[in-house]
Structure 1
Amino acid sequence: GVPLYIRAEAVIPLAAALMGKGVGAGTVLALIIGSAGASLTELILLRSLFTLKLLAAFVAVIFAMAMIAGYATYLFF
């Protein structure tokens, strides 16, 4: 979900549709965090403000948060 851009208005219906088709809540949560945290358009914009090293750290943190939240949701729900 990191390079994918999902509009805020589309997140809830998309999550409901995915969960209705059998996708796990943890997977949906990871997709939402990853797409909201670091979309490709956002990364292009942030590249003009940050160094490449800082941008890579930002993407790594977003990716790690999405994976941890998704896995924790899978474990507890």
Structure 2
Amino acid sequence: MPISAVLLEKGMGIGAVMALIIGGAGASIPEVTLLAFIFEKRLVIAFVGTVLGVAVLAGLLFQILANVGIIT
């Protein structure tokens, strides 16, 4: 994605970029709004929490892999 390349070029960490991409795509406002009309509130909260949790974990994993030198 072009925006991720620019963010990495400007010095943002790979972990933060990956978390931003996953969280932004997985829990976008239009998607959550649509799901709120279809499902009950508890399920939507669980969905958003899961997506954001996965984004944070993926960001941490990518940052650890970058610090070790496995990815650049």
Counterpart Cα distance in 2 of 1:34 and 1:76: 19
Structure with larger Rg: 2
Tell me the SS of whatever aligns to 1:48: helix
Runs of 4+ that moved beyond 2 A: none
Counterpart Cα distance in 1 of 2:10 and 2:20: 15
Normalised to the residue count of structure 1, the TM-score between the two structures is 0.84
Q: Which residue of 1 aligns with 2:16?
A: 27
Give the paired residue count.
66
State the shift of 1:76 in Å. 1.1
Q: Which residue of 2 aligns with 1:18?
A: 7
Higher fraction of helix? 2
1:38 to 22, 27, 32: 27
The gaps in structure 2 that reach 5 residues or longer are 67-72
The gaps in structure 1 that reach 5 residues or longer are 1-11
Normalised to the residue count of structure 2, the TM-score between the two structures is 0.89
